[in-house]
Amino acid sequence: MHAIGSILIPFAPWLRRYSGRHLRADLIAGLTVAVVAVPQSMAYALIAGIPVQYGLYASIVPTIVACLWGSSAHLVTGPTTAVSLVVFTSLSELAPAGTPHYLELALLLAFIVGVIQLGMGLSRLGVFLNFVSHSVILGFSSGAAVLIGFKQIPNFLGLKLERGGSLLSALWELATHVTETHAPTLALGLLTIFVIGMLKKFRPTWPGTLIAMLLTSLLVGLFNLSAQGVAVVGAIPRSLPPFHLPAVGWNENFSRLIPGALAIAILGLVEAASIAKAIAGQTHQRINMNQEFLGQGLANVAAGLFSGYPGSGSFTRSAINFRSGGKTPMSGIISGVSVAVTVLAAAPLAAHLPVAALAGALLVIAIEMIKVADIKRAMRSTRNDAAVLVITFFSTLFLNIEFAVYVGALLSIGLHLKTTSQPRIYSTVPDLISGKMIGTTHGKMCCQMDIVRIEGSIFFGSSDFVLEDLQRRLKSHPNMSCLLIRMHQVNNFDASGVHVVEQIVAQLGARGGGLFFSGVNARVFQVFKNSGLLREIGESHISSSTRAAIRQAMRGSFCPFVCAACEFAIFHECSDLKRGNWEILGKGVRPRCPREEAVSAEQRAGGQRPGR
């Protein structure tokens, strides 16, 4: 019952504990977030191809719902740049942007996204998002930034071009119409960028975007620039978000919307999870990621029912909420209420807001979306990170953007599986001075035993690779009868791994030797035991330390005549064993190499030297 209550009303505990000492800090943070949310929401609606009031609506009810049902104290949910772009690309092929049918599809899309996210949260599938690497997000956000910036250039220049189409065709159309640039529109766009840039540099705490929009709106009104061809947003209805069920055919549109909805659901959850974790790393708050998924899902369902469109956690607004001193989710709720009050009180002011100002603000946002330092770090880290980033970036530019999310995610998963399917395997020998195990040099190896370290899992995905590597080693040293596998860094072992071990045991058994293990952890040991492998190889063949395993192999499988003929001294015991002093391995220990095999063993040792 308690678990059900924590899902249905997760906000009850913090609301019961809420005190007046947090109210002032939450109020200041919430109002500060609203100052940023109003112009951002209007600009993001422009990206999504819907009237600006729907962007404001998406920052009211969905924001409040996400704060109540999420788990983060600072995450603010609403329209975001990347999600808005995916919304446009998902819907623009189904209906002309801005039309009533397009808006109904946007509402239905938000509802479907919310249902998908709710399903993932209830099924506790949050762990799968761990496979969407940071390089995917970097590549996607960088590509989205380029597209967002490029798509706003016509609005910035005052050009009337066809929306949609490929990037290359749009580039060509822009190049052929650039001479038609409308000078007053361009001036307003440049002024917007200048004001935002100057305030970010000299007054970073001031709401630069809002100030720039108010200034350009004032200029449009004073000089009647709309009559001179400057496009303006127009009056916004002075009303709260109306409750509205999407008035489109659910059955025929569901299959067409599901690919984009799934991409938005995954992208939105990755965005929200990343932001919540980043802020929680500084506040030390414990984030319940599955609860956060439920909050995002309910927020998008609310967007579909209350005239919004799909959204996610906003990095900008969440960071401002945190930096402004917000203490609880109440700050996000206050920001949603403040946006609602703004719509009721100041909606007519948008009548003079130039579209070029919104475009200029989006160009600034697009530039900030490209994290150059993070990109350089990812490119330098590993080849996999670099490949994922580059391929996701170009997929975002030249493929359907929702498909780019899948490309990046599947590529990162595939490269991860490739890495885990090829664990690092290399031979080691003890350093006679320090006693530590080190890599072999110049082919210097024991004539009777190879000591192999495996770094990675031995499971169905890597079993063939491990078996081929071990068999290659045995084939290269046909007279070697023992193998010691150091399992200190093997955390996963399954039935396929058991099959590998059984085959190696059989091959070594045919040579009169055995397979030994060291550093087997409790989980892997349990698989040994449950599968019957422990009984097959014998408990004496498993030791906690490598040194103990080496001595056990010497006692059980080493032949004195091979030791006597070996030219290397790999272990401290070698000098004694070469002289036939086997009691250094324990009182009463005698070599087990049969006397009748001595000659052939000595011949084998003399005729096959490792490394030659």
Of 22 and 470, the structure prediction assigns the larger pLDDT to 470
pLDDT at residue 280, as a whole number: 84
Final residue of a structural domain among 386, 416, 446: 416
Residue with tokens 């409790």: 522
Kindly report the CATH number assigned to the domain that includes residue 570.
Answer: 3.30.750.24
Q: Kindly state whether residues 163 and 79 are assigned to the same domain.
A: yes
Q: pLDDT band at residue 610, thresholds of 50, 70 and 90?
A: very low
Name the CA radius of gyration of the chain, rounded: 33
Q: Kindly state whether residues 291 and 390 are assigned to the same domain.
A: yes
Q: pLDDT band at residue 26, thresholds of 50, 70 and 90?
A: very high
Is 455 in a helix, a strand, or coil? strand
pLDDT at residue 601, as a whole number: 46
Instruction: Out of 52-61, 169-178, 195-204, 474-483, pick the least confident.
Output: 169-178
Residue 5 lies in a domain: no
Q: Kindly state whether residues 318 and 454 are assigned to the same domain.
A: no
CA distance between the termini of the chain: 71
Q: Kindly state whether residues 395 and 466 are assigned to the same domain.
A: no
Q: Give residue-wise pLDDT tens across range 325-334.
A: 889 999 999 9
> What integer is the mean pLDDT of 48-71?
94
Residue 284 has pLDDT above 90, yes or no: no
Share of the chain above pLDDT 90, in %: 49
pLDDT at residue 6, as a whole number: 58
Q: Give residue-wise pLDDT tens across range 244-270.
A: 888 887 778 888 999 999 989 988 988
Residue 583 has pLDDT above 90, yes or no: no
Q: Kindly state whether residues 407 and 436 are assigned to the same domain.
A: no
Q: Give residue-wise pLDDT tens across range 154-182.
A: 999 998 876 656 677 778 888 888 889 99
> What integer is the mean pLDDT of 223-243?
89
- Token pair recorded at residue 285: 């708050």
Q: Given the DSSP bridges, would you call strands 449-455 and 424-430 parallel, antiparallel or unpaired? A: antiparallel
The Cα 501–Cα 541 span in angstroms is 13
Residue-level length of the chain = 612
Continuous H helices in 49-181: 52-57, 61-69, 81-91, 100-122, 134-157, 167-177
Residue 166 lies in a domain: yes
pLDDT at residue 63, as a whole number: 97
Residue 150 lies in a domain: yes
Residue 14 lies in a domain: no
Q: pLDDT band at residue 528, thresholds of 50, 70 and 90?
A: very high
**Of the candidates 310, 377, 322, the residue with the CA atom closest to the CA atom of residue 138:** 377
Q: Kindly state whether residues 395 and 534 are assigned to the same domain.
A: no
> What integer is the mean pLDDT of 439-455?
84
Residue 272 has pLDDT above 80, yes or no: yes
Of 455 and 150, the structure prediction assigns the larger pLDDT to 455
Q: Kindly state whether residues 377 and 447 are assigned to the same domain.
A: no
Residue 574 has pLDDT above 70, yes or no: yes
pLDDT at residue 202, as a whole number: 93
Share of the chain above pLDDT 70, in %: 93
Q: pLDDT band at residue 234, thresholds of 50, 70 and 90?
A: confident
Number of domains in the chain: 2
DSSP 424: E
Top-ranked range on mean pLDDT: pick from 103-107, 418-422, 574-578: 103-107
Residue 4 lies in a domain: no
pLDDT at residue 596, as a whole number: 41
Domain hosting residue 485, numbered range: 424-607
- Token pair recorded at residue 331: 């700050």
Residue 9 lies in a domain: no
pLDDT at residue 104, as a whole number: 94
pLDDT at residue 1, as a whole number: 44
The Cα 189–Cα 360 span in angstroms is 5
- Token pair recorded at residue 489: 């860094």
pLDDT at residue 441, as a whole number: 64
Q: Kindly state whether residues 185 and 313 are assigned to the same domain.
A: yes
pLDDT at residue 83, as a whole number: 93
pLDDT at residue 2, as a whole number: 47
CB-based contacts of 105: which residues, under 8 Å, 6+ apart?
91, 94, 95, 246, 248, 253, 257
Final residue of a structural domain among 366, 385, 416: 416
> What is the average pLDDT score of the chain?
87
DSSP 248: S
Q: Kindly state whether residues 260 and 407 are assigned to the same domain.
A: yes
Q: pLDDT band at residue 391, thresholds of 50, 70 and 90?
A: very high
pLDDT at residue 165, as a whole number: 61
Q: Given the DSSP bridges, would you call strands 482-489 and 514-518 parallel, antiparallel or unpaired? A: parallel
Instruction: Out of 91-100, 262-271, 599-608, pick the least confident.
Output: 599-608
Q: Let me know: does 418 contact 456? Beta carbons within 8 Å.
A: no
Q: Kindly state whether residues 428 and 284 are assigned to the same domain.
A: no
Q: pLDDT band at residue 403, thresholds of 50, 70 and 90?
A: confident
Residue 7 lies in a domain: no
Residue 354 has pLDDT above 80, yes or no: yes
Q: Kindly state whether residues 402 and 433 are assigned to the same domain.
A: no
Is 327 in a helix, a strand, or coil? coil
Q: Kindly state whether residues 56 and 204 are assigned to the same domain.
A: yes
Q: pLDDT band at residue 74, thresholds of 50, 70 and 90?
A: very high
Residue 568's φ and ψ, nearest 5 degrees, are: -100, 155
pLDDT at residue 4, as a whole number: 52
> What integer is the mean pLDDT of 410-424?
86
Q: pLDDT band at residue 9, thresholds of 50, 70 and 90?
A: confident
pLDDT at residue 593, as a whole number: 64
Residue 11 lies in a domain: no
Final residue of a structural domain among 399, 416, 433: 416
The Cα 78–Cα 90 span in angstroms is 18
The Cα 598–Cα 590 span in angstroms is 14
